[in-house]
Chain A
Amino acid sequence: MNPLALDFLAFALSFAAFSAIALSTERHSKQVFGRLPALAARHTLTVAGWLLLFASLLPALAARGPSIGSLAWLGYLSLASVAIGLMLSYRPRPLRFAAPALLGLAVLAWGMAGH
């Protein structure tokens, strides 16, 4: 399998994870949605974010093995969090769609590369 599809998946998962964590906070969810979501929804986002964060390690390991994979994973985490930080500062609204879109694309690419 092409490792690039897995790399992309790892990045998309960590991007989704950090988006969910950012959206679970009061300040950033107001920025993105314009209003504060229900507390239950924010709790769900927190849990989903952390789960996605750990999930993003798996494709990185699958793509590049334990040592380089975990190193690359840290790189994806930085890249994703910087991207989200910049979006929150300059273009917060599209963050609602960015993570699902990216994740969808990554899963699609992964599925196509696998077959």
Chain B
Amino acid sequence: MRFDKPRTFRQSISWVHTWAGLLLGWLLFAVFVTGTLSFFRNEITLWMQPELHRAHDDGHAAANALRTLERVGSGAQQWTISLPGPRSNVVNLSWREAQPEQAQGSQSRGGGRQQPGLHRAVMDPATGELIEARQTAGGNFLYRFHFELYGMDRAWGRWIVGIATMFMFVALITGVIVHRQIFRDFFTFRPAKGKRSWLDAHNASGVLSLPFHLVITFSGLMLLGSMLMPTAVSSAYPEDSAAYGRELRGLGNAAPAPRATGEAAPLTAIAPLLAEGERRWPDAGVGSIVVTHPGDAGAIIELRQARGDSLANRAATERLLFNGVSGKLLDAPPAAEPSTVRAIQNVLSAVHLGRFASPLPRWLLFLSGVLGSLMVASGLVLWVVSRAKDAPSAEPSLAPIPRGHRLVQVLNIAAVAGLMIAIAAYFWANRLVPVEQAERNLWEIRTFFSAWGLTLIHALLRRHKRAWIEQLVAAGALFAALPLLNTFSGGAHLGHSLASGQWQVAGFDLTALACGLLLFFAARGVIRHVPRVRPGKAAPAARPATRSPRPAEATAAQAPLPLPLRC
């Protein structure tokens, strides 16, 4: 666009959309793809620990866990048992040893940080055996990369992703404005029509799940909001910014922990307590058990509901408190009602993080994320396609491609197909790096970035079309073979996981297979692609018969444009 001439509003907006989208598009694609995968973070981590695949729940998980904890965690101050559920097939145990001087309130800080005196273990629900799983970066790496990238200060990564999110928001809004016929073209996709097809694909993937894109982008901004706009907090809480966090979390009303009596007494049987929990929460069930002062006469057993049935009060699930020795119900505190502001924030963050247990809405979010990734990728390709019309010939062009266009071509290949290779390579590294390797998780991550770097070099060295084909085929092969790799490297293969209802593992394998097939399909599209010629030139003879336009559409075809993916 020229700035020395008058231009229409739509042209200006279109310019903003194009360049905001292009500059951050490569990063946004990575953020979208890793974010989409993060909806299944737990499942990915489970797949990456094949030692856990064979574990299954036979209904005695809680009793087995208590028996195991008596063995390994006797004398601990508190036991926590996370029971198997739709997203986990194992029992996660943790026990906290009594600390001489432990300040109340310092316990729940700092997510993954190692706390003194805290032990964690994974247990097979049926046997009660502790399972030693391999060290892996798991789904957590993809999750962290999604919002703070890697290899830099966390704050920097968050700032970069935050700015990209802002651009995404701008691109969404400008995209709706420049879309010419958002209602008339709502369902329109015209395949094999060059630039028109890419524009249709970009529009359709954007419009058809526009509510999702808006919600996910806005809530993403909100999650990073207090960092992007710190003055909002510091002006409302001038003296004490920690008060903001306390007020946000609704802390300050936690009941003081009961004291131990020092008298030894055995724990009551857990089954009747669980039955009471199941009676009160028929849908959600019991999610976790916390035993305070186990083995003491003052023991307390707390059952927590598996999940809230509302997004508005996310952490506030219902609880049941029992006397740990007599088994008498002491208290059933209701879930705390969040304030309106907090409820809105909870809803948005719960949607963004997919904080609910049932798999169906999670899959819907995943599919919307896939659409969003396709939207970004098709937009990136569209940039190249739109500019390819400058070169009029459909022959393998001898005219030099402008340097900027070549740069975008190369970055597109590495950012889209290359990222797919990198992610697949990450999963391969998970199985091929020896189990006893020190810093195993780091080797997985190193493989991810090495593979990604190699795809960039490959894209630089190869011709545009060849590079796309080779990388798409490589990514497709790596993904499609993941179920096989899983079979031969100690995981539960599809026959086993499907037959025994291991949906977390089976879901990963099937999704990898589907992803591989889609990548092959995309590669086939590029291989079969023959550039269209402008009117007046002879049509290429080798036009694939399957792509011939239908009679009704052939007459309406716009001036054909040469396509970008020139050999």
Question: What is the interface of chain A, defined by CB distance below 8 A to chain B?
Answer: 4, 7, 18, 21-22, 25, 27-28, 30-31, 64-68, 71-72, 74-79, 81-82, 84-86, 88-90
Contact = CB atoms under 8 A, between A and B. Distances in A.
Interface string B305-322: 000011110000000000
A52 to B, nearest CB: 15
Given A65-B310, A67-B350, A86-B189, 14 more contacts: A7-B360, A22-B186, A68-B356, A71-B364, A74-B364, A74-B368, A78-B208, A78-B212, A82-B208, A82-B209, A84-B187, A85-B189, A88-B188, A90-B191
Contact of B188 (A67, A72, A85): A85
Contact of B361 (A28, A64, A82): A64
B191 A89 contact: yes
B211 A72 contact: no
Given A72-B360, A75-B367, A88 B187 contact: yes
A67 B310 contact: yes
Contacts of A22: 186-187
B310 to A, nearest CB: 5
A79 B187 contact: no
Interface in B344-396: 347, 350-351, 356, 358, 360-361, 364-365, 367-368, 371
A89 B189 contact: yes
A18 B358 CA distance: 26
B184 interface: yes
Contacts of A64: 309, 358, 361
B204 A79 contact: no
B212 A74 contact: yes
Contact of B367 (A28, A31, A78): A78
Sort chain B's interface into a size bin: 20 to 34
Contact of B358 (A27, A68, A74, A88): A68
Contacts of B309: 64-65, 68
Contacts of A68: 309-311, 356, 358, 361
B438 interface: no
A22 B189 CA distance: 13
Contact of A85 (B204, B212, B356): B204
Q: Which of A64, A74, A88 has the most C-beta atoms of chain B within 10 angstroms of its own C-beta?
A: A74
B529 interface: no
26 contacts: A4-B360, A7-B360, A22-B186, A28-B187, A65-B309, A67-B311, A71-B351, A71-B364, A74-B209, A74-B211, A75-B365, A75-B368, A76-B364, A78-B212, A78-B364, A78-B367, A79-B364, A81-B186, A81-B187, A82-B371, A84-B187, A85-B186, A85-B204, A86-B189, A88-B189, A89-B189
A81 to B, nearest CB: 5
A28 B322 CA distance: 63
Interface in B172-207: 184, 186-191, 204
Nearest to B205: A82
A22 B184 CA distance: 9
Nearest to A86: B189
Contacts, number: 83
Contacts of A84: 187
A85 B559 CA distance: 23
The 6 closest A-B pairs by CB, nearest first: A75-B364, A67-B311, A78-B209, A89-B189, A85-B187, A81-B208
B552 interface: yes
B208 A85 contact: yes
A30 B556 CA distance: 14
Contacts of A7: 360
A18 B215 CA distance: 22
Given A89-B190, A90-B191, A75 B204 contact: no
B552 A82 contact: no
Nearest to A7: B360
A70 to B, nearest CB: 9
A5 B490 CA distance: 37
B361 A79 contact: no
Contacts of B351: 71
B184 A25 contact: yes
A79 B311 contact: no
Contact of B212 (A21, A28, A75): A75
Nearest to A34: B552
A83 B208 CA distance: 10
A64 B367 CA distance: 19
Interface string B534-564: 0000000000000000001000000000000
Contacts of B215: 74
B107 to A, nearest CB: 29
Nearest to A76: B364
A110 B204 CA distance: 31
Contacts of A75: 212, 361, 364-365, 367-368
Q: Which of A86, A89, A90 has the most C-beta atoms of chain B within 10 angstroms of its own C-beta?
A: A89
A90 B550 CA distance: 10
A65 B215 CA distance: 19
B555 to A, nearest CB: 13
B266 to A, nearest CB: 41
A18 B552 CA distance: 23
Contacts of A67: 310-312, 347, 350
B552 A31 contact: yes
Contacts of B350: 67
